[in-house]
Amino acid sequence: MFKINENFLKLPGSYLFSTIGKKVTAFKEQNPEKKIISLGIGDVTQPLAPAIIETLHGAVDDMSNAETFKGYAPDLGYEFLRTTIAQNDYKDHGCDISADEIFVSDGAKCDSGNIQEIFSQENKIAVCDPVYPVYVDSNVMAGRTGIYDTKSEVWSNVIYMPCTAENNFAPQLPKETPDIIYLCFPNNPTGATVNKAQLQEWVDYANKVGAVIIYDAAYEAYISEEDVPHSIYECDGARTCAIELRSFSKNAGFTGVRLGFTVIPKELKAGDVSLHSLWARRHGTKYNGAPYIVQKAGTAVYSEAGKAQLKEQVAYYMNNAKLVYDGLKSAGYTVSGGVNAPYIWLQTPNKMKSWDFFDYLLENANVVGTPGSGFGPSGEGYFRLTAFGSYENTVEAMNRIKAL
């Protein structure tokens, strides 16, 4: 008789955003006349930039002709995209990363969920708390996280690094030594960042204790302050300890287009074995590449026109971020984030539970946000709003919240 992976059953509830989706659907059914504004899921709303649309049409035409038709993509992504990424995201910023250290994928969610496969089950992970739930959940499924305590909402075999108002939402080096450290800056959900000196400390620490850092830089396009690193490879020594995940979802509006990449420097090794070779094997065996038309669209992100258009798009969202930040402040909330990230992080009023505040906001302002506790135990008492709505909806949502 076949047996299931029992680790799946340890996961409490469903994936955070599935739960939110179900709650919103139920509310809509009961209140069909209410106009709900979602500042919940971090999904973009602005259409693809004209340069990207044009490239997509061109790539579709390529597929209509036997001479230019493309079948299976190369395992690690098309050279044309990998070279463009290496130049624009790394070499132009003084980071020593070459095209063949870049693995193109269909997005950072898949990569952040799948990357743990190349590590032994015996590794202990450390995560910022709160953080994007995929890091912990994918390790739960792999059996690395021990037992879940439903009361404290803590896994017995995970090192939590609290990021709260007390430490300005920046994690401290953990007391217990982890094997794998997940870092996400600009942080989802708090919107907090670390400066270059702080990140260098993490790189030095990882090299010292032999840990690997999985650095999720999905939101780097939103960095507005000078001293905040866009890539972990800006730090000395990162090539021997860090994997970086990047996404096209937020800088180019690709949440429904699906494109991302993972960087694994060739020096990153366990003994003789390079993690690069393991991930290449994983890609080669279980993945068949991102669609040609999507990889082509990726190159448009780096064109002159694309860059200019996307700079405007990011500015549009960051204007929303400022609206939300200022609006919440003026309504008396304690707020952070929103300066180097499209996320605004607020403390719930009167120490309300995160999910209670979710219900309160949905019912009274018809605004959807994300409960902080969904991102980890230290997220309890916090709440996330995103800047990814339209300008009009953002203004309207803030008016409703201020009127409460």
In the region spanning residues 161 to 190, those forming contacts with a second copy, defined by CB under 8 A, are: 179-180
List b or e across 236-260, with b for residues whose CB sees 16 or more CB atoms inside 10 angstroms. Answer: eebbebbbbbbbbbbbbbbbebbbb
25 contributes a contact to a second copy by CB under 8 A: no
Nearest to 76 by CA among 105, 40, 118: 105
**Separation of alpha carbons 320 and 197, rounded Å:** 30
Nearest distance in Å: CB 42, a second copy: 9
Nearest distance in Å: CB 402, a second copy: 25
Is 340 known to sit in a ligand binding site?
no
With vertex at residue 204, the alpha carbon angle to CA 263 and CA 170, rounded to the nearest 5 degrees, is 85
294 contributes a contact to a second copy by CB under 8 A: yes
For residues 372, 243, 181, 192, the Cα torsion angle rounded to the nearest 10 degrees is -40
Nearest distance in Å: CB 264, a second copy: 12
List b or e across 190-199, with b for residues whose CB sees 16 or more CB atoms inside 10 angstroms. Answer: bbbbbeeebb
Tell me which stretch binds a second copy (CB under 8 A): 26-34, 108-116, 197-205, 377-385: 108-116
Tell me which stretch binds a second copy (CB under 8 A): 204-212, 230-238, 318-326, 344-352: 204-212
Nearest to 163 by CA among 382, 353, 348: 382
What is the full DSSP assignment across 302-344?
A: TSHHHHHHHHHHHHHHHHHHHHHHHHHHHTT--EEE-SSSSEE
Q: Cβ contacts of residue 195 below 8 Å, gap of 6+?
A: 227, 228, 229
Per-residue x/- marks for a second copy, 368-397, CB under 8 A?
Answer: ----------------------x-------
Per-residue x/- marks for a second copy, 260-289, CB under 8 A?
Answer: ----------x--x-x--x--xx-xxxxxx
256 contributes a contact to a second copy by CB under 8 A: yes
Nearest distance in Å: CB 259, a second copy: 9
Residues 345 and 325: beta-carbon distance below 8 Å: no
What is the CA 202 to chain-centroid distance, rounded?
19
29 contributes a contact to a second copy by CB under 8 A: no
109 contributes a contact to a second copy by CB under 8 A: yes
315 contributes a contact to a second copy by CB under 8 A: no
Site size with a second copy, rule: CB under 8 A? 82
- Binding to a second copy, residues 120-159 (CB under 8 A): 120-123, 134, 137-138, 141
**Separation of alpha carbons 336 and 343, rounded Å:** 9
298 contributes a contact to a second copy by CB under 8 A: no
225 contributes a contact to a second copy by CB under 8 A: no
Nearest distance in Å: CB 393, a second copy: 11
Phi-psi region of 208 (alpha: psi -120 to 50; beta: other; left: phi over 0): alpha
Per-residue x/- marks for a second copy, 4-23, CB under 8 A?
Answer: xxx-xx-x--xx-xx-----
Tell me which stretch binds a second copy (CB under 8 A): 157-165, 207-215, 350-358, 369-377: 207-215
3-state secondary structure of 182: strand
CB count within 10 Å of CB 14 equals 11
**Separation of alpha carbons 158 and 144, rounded Å:** 8
Tell me which stretch binds a second copy (CB under 8 A): 51-59, 151-159, 196-204, 346-354: 51-59
- Binding annotation for pyridoxal 5'-phosphate: 72, 108-109, 132, 188, 219, 247-249, 258, 288
Name the binding residues. 15, 42, 72, 108-109, 132, 188, 219, 247-249, 258, 288, 384
